[in-house]
Amino acid sequence: MASTVIHAPGACSSPSIKFVDSQNYIGLKPSVNLRLKFNFVKTTVKVRQSQCLFIVKAGETRDGPIKKLGLTDAECEAAVVAGNAPEAPPLPPKPTAPAGTPVVPSLALNRRPRRNRKSPTLRASFQETNLSPANFVYPLFIHEGEEDTPIGAMPGCYRLGWRHGLVEEVAKARDVGVNSIVLFPKVPDALKSATGVEAYNDNGLVPRTIRLLKDKYPDLVIYTDVALDPYSSDGHDGIVREDGVILNDETVHQLCKQAVSQARAGADVVSPSDMMDGRVGAIRAALDAEGFHHVSIMSYTAKYASSFYGPFREALDSNPRFGDKKTYQMNPANYREALVEAREDESEGADILLVKPGLPYLDIIRLLRDKSPLPIAAYQVSGEYSMIKAGGVLKMIDEERVMMESLMCLRRAGADIILTYFALQAARSLCGEKR
């Protein structure tokens, strides 16, 4: 299978780029002015005697950025803990079928291939063999604060304020053809619990963020993380028994509620990263039962108990309080076991299979590519990103070239899409922009 790096036409607004065709990239508007105007959502404030309730009224106007209220991260988190979370825009009305459409029961289908063809962004994401911004899914960290907080172990990455910095970062990504993101929340410690109930709060940080982004960018493809570790007081992906055992079936029950909550808010693809047995089939059944047949599942099929995850856990403050994750994540020494996981996920209704980490596991990516007809995703994880960044700072490698080569290797191995913190930087490189 041959792979080529292409300069994505229409993915940049620079007048120096020729053969621009904005119809090939979703969310792009050709312009000869390098300074694009982005429309943001305004915030209105209702003041009560004893509390402030922040209301995001995105539908009223899109003439300017949301005004900041000058609150600290602690004040924002305190308001959420007290039950005064900022309101996000309401869900849009459900589209109606034309008159005369028969009312029929939903077909009992685990596999609905149309889910992967439902939007121009997804169709472009799964088009075979090239390297373009359409192949990137941009992982973004969000928090309740208004300011963006730098992540020390991941140069260039931030915990983004969900109503401000996040909207700006998504606008930058869309400007160069990256129209898919995945959200990872930094949850206030006061909302964490042993059973992770905050994970399925319909007014929690992730559902609010989804509604805000969908109100501003309806065609944005939003992936979500389905796992309990950001919400767990124990820092594990599942519920921990008193003897340290991670409970499987009880955890899956919670994950189903989390996935449905995310789908209800408008998520396009839910992504169980927990590695519990049977969770894909259970989540598919839960989504279908609630009418979310169109919502895809990207399963973390071969997620290894890797040492490359350290910077990510710093970003979310989600290190396990004790022990490790080796009883549910895969042994890095194992190859054939990935096929066992892949076959189970396929049979349970997964739409996309993901391998994590990426570059150290090219053989696993190729294995799943050769054995499965489903789209394959690779996650270029935080440790891979930070090593390239560190090598570039120390002048030991050419950061730009190594970045692009590593992404090409993932594509060549068989990855249809790549979750990478380099998404914005790489997309700019592909369309010829200077950093």
356 is catalytic: yes
Q: What is the DSSP string of 350-363?
A: -SEEEEESSGGGHH
d(CA 283, CA 287): 6
Query: Residue 267 in contact with residue 234, Cβ under 8 Å?
Result: no
The candidate with the shortest Cα–Cα distance to 426, out of 399, 392, 397, is 399
Query: Residue 428 in contact with residue 176, Cβ under 8 Å?
Result: yes
Return the structure tokens found at 156: 């260039």
Half-sphere exposure (Cβ direction) of 360: Cα atoms closer than 13 Å = 19
Residue 241 Cα distances to 238, 245, 421, angstroms: 10, 5, 34
Pairing of strands 158-161, 246-247: unpaired
Specify the 3-state DSSP secondary structure of 192. coil
The residue assigned the tokens 């120096």 is 16
d(CA 14, CA 30): 9
Task: Please state whether 388 falls in left (phi above 0), alpha (psi between -120 and 50) or beta.
Answer: alpha
Give me the catalytic one of 192, 216, 303, 325: 303
DSSP lists the bridge partners of residue 220 as none
Q: How far is CA 348 from the centre of its chain?
A: 22
Query: Residue 177 in contact with residue 25, Cβ under 8 Å?
Result: yes
Residues known to be catalytic: 303, 356
